[in-house]
Structure 1
């Protein structure tokens, strides 16, 4: 079976600092894979290279076997790689459904024909995406009036507008209340199953990581130091020493009983 995303020897340096140093991993189909690490480990740099925002110094990035290294973000997006960001960015004066329609209009290459008919384009498709993320009852509200958790759900609907095969999520639960974090990640898990999406996400909340990831990778100083199941990573002495803190016990991991929660700071 072809991996959804295959990364080999990915590298990026800024001056004499190796932000990402020979990183290799594979994201499997229908998998939720977490990338964690302390502040400055290289997570954001890695993400920015995967979706084309940053040009790598070397390596290989294959999407279902096809090389995408060096492609600009728009081409990567059109090939089926969606992304959400730590800080949401929406058209605040537009309604929820209009924001999703804008993403769909771009996906269908209708930008030139957009005005004055934008309000009628792909409205049903946009509503279906909002229904998928539980936002259909707020479709007519202005985005500037939404609570932060609702903005995150709307951002997920927008990220799904290009029908991605791979979804990159940069700290999806950042800034959310604990219960909202659980609800959002349960929603993402349902999307993985219903739409066959493979998800790579970064996160500092260990409840989110160990509660929802199928596998976990740990990045430190630009290098992957550990990769395995949540239990393997949580109990790895190198991870405890370098990142999680020796002896720390973290939140409920996938398929395990709940334990006290701790968060890794930026």
Structure 2
């Protein structure tokens, strides 16, 4: 089932086309990697999906809802979770308190004079921490955790609103190889268990090729390749742009003129 359909998405800053006519689909239960060299337009595309940027044109259809131009909070309430390249947690708060804050926000609870804040959604918070392997650290402050563990807490926070779609911006940035593989193996299991759709950006090709069901490749704002790992790895345009020939990519118009399918 198609969960996310992006059609002719574009974003310009002045005369610069950061994202130029990008279209792709993401299915429920699919782990989709968005890759490309620096300046390819990955972050701009990602931020339009999350509502941090308004598209210049195009459509973003999520679970039957047009979300292009909606506010991040409204998109979150429809069932889109997000993690960030730099983990966004409250260091002075405990692990469980961080997750409880997300649950309180989900339910729009401000305060309750008759119930201590530490007891609100405690059981649900522990259940989320168990999913990411962090329940044993519930009472520890986030500020003393190893970075890989902080990323797991952030994942639990992202799962608090029971998302159908999870956006992960470079989830393994700054992590050691074992931590990277552990986190992505956990994400893959969540995809399988809960039929989540996951879109993630990533620079570590070992992670991408090991865990992504499908890849889409951007260069200078344009979509230049998509498919499974083997298809993308052997795509001549992707190899030229991304895997180190040192040549710039050939625009789609030129490819069509040469008889190559764009």
TM, length-normalised to structure 2: 0.91
In the TM superposition, what are the counterparts of 1:226-241 in structure 2 within 5 Å?
Answer: 226-241=225-240
- Give the SS at the match of 1:167: strand
- Note the residue ranges of structure 1 that are not aligned, 5 or more in a row: 248-266
Specify whether residues 243 and 104 from structure 1 end up closer, same or farther in structure 2 by C-alpha distance, changes over 3 A only.
same
Unaligned runs of at least 5 residues, structure 2: 247-262
Residue 131 of structure 1 is matched in structure 2 by 130
Q: Could you tell me which residue of structure 1 aligns to residue 65 of structure 2?
A: 66
Partner Cα distance (2:113, 2:92) in 1: 18
Match status 1:218 vs 2:217: yes
Report the Cα offset of residue 114 of structure 1: 8.3
| RMSD of Structure 2 on Structure 1 (CA) | 1.4
- Residues 172-229 of structure 1: CA deviation (Å, up to 9, x unaligned): 0100000110000000011111111100000000011000000000000001000111
Q: Which residue of structure 1 aligns with residue 258 of structure 2?
A: none
Query: Residues 42-57 of structure 1 correspond to what in structure 2 (within 5 A)?
Result: 42-57=41-56
CA distance in 1, matches of 2:4, 2:154: 22
Distance across 2 between alignment mates of 1:226 and 1:114: 56
Determine which structure has more spread, i.e. the larger CA radius of gyration.
2
SS of 1:4's partner is: strand
1:136-185 Cα shifts (integer Å, max 9, x gaps)? 11000001101100000000000000000000000001000001100000
SS of equivalent residue, structure 1 residue 219: strand
**TM-score (structure 1 length as normaliser):** 0.90
Seen in structure 2, the aligned counterparts of structure 1 residues 113 and 11 have a Cα distance that, compared at 3 Å, is: farther
Paired residue total: 246
